[in-house]
Structures are given as C-alpha cells and as structure tokens.
Amino acid sequence: MLCKSACLLQVFIQKAAVNLLSSVLDTPEFFWRAPDSFQALYERICEYLELEERVEVLNARFAVLQEMLDMLRDHENNHHNARLEWIVIWLIVIEVVVGLLEVMGLFGLVGEH
C-alpha cells in the first residue's frame, strides 16, 4: 500500500511540475520588454518545438496513470472491505454459537452432568 501511495504522490508531483511550476507555456517577462522581433522568434521556436502539444500529451499520460492508480486503490479498498466483512461474519457466528451454548446450559443440555 505504501508503494501505491508513493506512486500516486509521484504522479501528482510530476503533473504539478508540468502544469504549475514550469512557465514553459508562458511568455517570459524578458520578451515583454524586448523588441517584438524577439517575441516573434520565441513564439516560432515554441511552435517548432510543439510545446503546447507536448504538454497536452504529458497531461494525457498523467491522466491515464492517475486512472490506473485509482483503479488499483479501489481494488485494494474492495479487498480490504471484503476481508472486514468476513471478520464480522465470523464474529457473528461465534456469538451465535456462544449464545446457543448458554441457552443449552440453561436447559441443562450442556455443562454440568
């Protein structure tokens, strides 16, 4: 379970790094003060490197990873819940058996001979 949580955290960190922490898709402040030809060159370079498309591809991959990890977490939760249900069932069975033994003891069917 610890490994799954670590994987989930790693996906979240990488997704945040791509979307929040990097200013790859933003025009740097330098180009606001520089001549327009520099900004146009920067925009052409961004188009040539297909930065927006690459970020979209990374986000799509992160979404797939997130879905896979969510499915894994749900499977683990279902497995845990099923285990707890069986524990409750066995506790009820034990309680019923103890109760039957007490009732049988009251009628003298079990116990002192």
Give 94-101's long-range contacts (Cβ < 8 A, gap of 24+).
Answer: none
- Give the global pTM: 0.58
73 neighbors 8 (Cβ within 8 angstroms): yes
Radius of gyration of the chain (CA): 31
One digit per residue, pLDDT tens: the chain, 113 residues?
567 677 777 877 877 777 765 566 677 777 778 888 888 888 898 889 888 888 888 888 888 888 888 888 898 899 999 999 999 999 999 999 999 999 998 888 876 65
- Residue 89 CA, distance from chain mean position: 30
Q: CA angle 44-48-54, nearest 5°?
A: 120
DSSP code at position 27: P
| Residue 28, SS3 per DSSP | coil
Instruction: Extract the tokens encoding 54.
Output: 């690459």
